[in-house]
Amino acid sequence: MTAGPLLFARYAYPPNSLGLCGADQTRTLLEYGAAGASDGGLAELARTFDGAWPYLTLIAGANGIDDPLDPRVVEAYWVGNELLDRAGGGGLARHVEDRFRGRIGGSWRRVVDTVAAGAVPHHCFHVFAVYPWLGLLRSGIVDEPLNVLESCRTTPALVRSVEGATLRVALRPLVWDGRTLELGSWEPREARWQDDGLALVPSPRPGEWVSLHWGFACDRLTPAAAASLRRATWRALYAVNRSSGTAAALT
């Protein structure tokens, strides 16, 4: 099993390279990821990601795990596994309120409803429910919010071919029908797997599954892990599509 800090670095690198989150340590994350290395310095760097870190602490605490960077915890947040089932409900609502309510503002009621509809602390929940992009879709602004949601979620993709630093993959994109956010039919897409000759997924091959984050291949997935990521995505979509904004009670 990949060391937890290293697994975190692989998923954190793409948004960090765009200046979206975490400390300004893009090259460090890429070099750690490419080398397959992990140490205390990388663990400290993970704590600077104030969007993801609270979810890791929640998942760890709900499962009696001391280290938020335990690889099972990191996998639960970015990909999905059984640890998520113990970390939803009122605990998730309170956790998000404590850390994000000041950023969410008036959208807080819908976030509470999303948790009540069965959401768990997976990255897709944070992207779909806590960020404002789905609210913009509902207001009629479509193109840019849908593009951000698609890029920011973690996505399982099947490698079709490798052409230099580019992967040609197949995936199911997000689609918006005016009322609900869903997964569409399989489509061909392009993704990067190298920056400056360094890669987080060494030598991907056709027929393999990879996970994408902001258009970059973060990790190689087993078929079972790809299925887990799909299930976590569907679960988040189910919850946000059923959130009414009426703030159902949570205990």
The per-residue pLDDT for range 123-135, each reduced to its tens digit, is 999 999 988 899 8
Residue 7: phi and psi, rounded to 5, are -60, -40
| Position 58 pLDDT exceeds 50 | yes
Mean pLDDT computed over 162-173: 97
| Position 245 pLDDT exceeds 60 | no
Tell me which residue of 116, 88, 120 sits closest to 250, measured CA to CA: 116
- In Å, what is the CA distance from 185 to each residue of 55, 80, 87, 172, 173? 30, 22, 31, 5, 7
Tell me which residue of 100, 76, 97, 74 sits closest to 86, measured CA to CA: 76
- Please tell me the predicted confidence (pLDDT) of residue 250: 42
| Position 232 pLDDT exceeds 90 | yes
Q: How confident is the model at residue 23 (pLDDT cuts 50, 70, 90)?
A: confident
Q: How confident is the model at residue 101 (pLDDT cuts 50, 70, 90)?
A: confident
- Please tell me the predicted confidence (pLDDT) of residue 1: 72
- Please tell me the predicted confidence (pLDDT) of residue 140: 94
When the pLDDT of each residue in the chain is averaged and rounded to a whole number, the result is 92
Q: How confident is the model at residue 111 (pLDDT cuts 50, 70, 90)?
A: confident
Half-sphere exposure of 221 (CA within 13 A, CB side): 26
> Could you give the percent of the chain with pLDDT greater than 90?
76
More confident residue, 89 or 106: 89
Q: What is the pTM of this model?
A: 0.93
Please name each of the domains of the chain with its CATH number: 71-251 (2.30.30.140)
| Position 8 pLDDT exceeds 60 | yes
Q: How far apart (Å, rounded) are the C-alpha atoms in residues 36 and 10?
A: 10
| Position 249 pLDDT exceeds 70 | no
Are the C-beta atoms of residues 59 and 72 closer than 8 Å to each other? no
- Please tell me the predicted confidence (pLDDT) of residue 202: 87
| Position 242 pLDDT exceeds 50 | yes
Q: How far apart (Å, rounded) are the C-alpha atoms in residues 109 and 247?
A: 5
Q: What is the pLDDT of residues 64-93, one digit of tens each?
A: 999 999 999 999 999 999 999 999 998 898
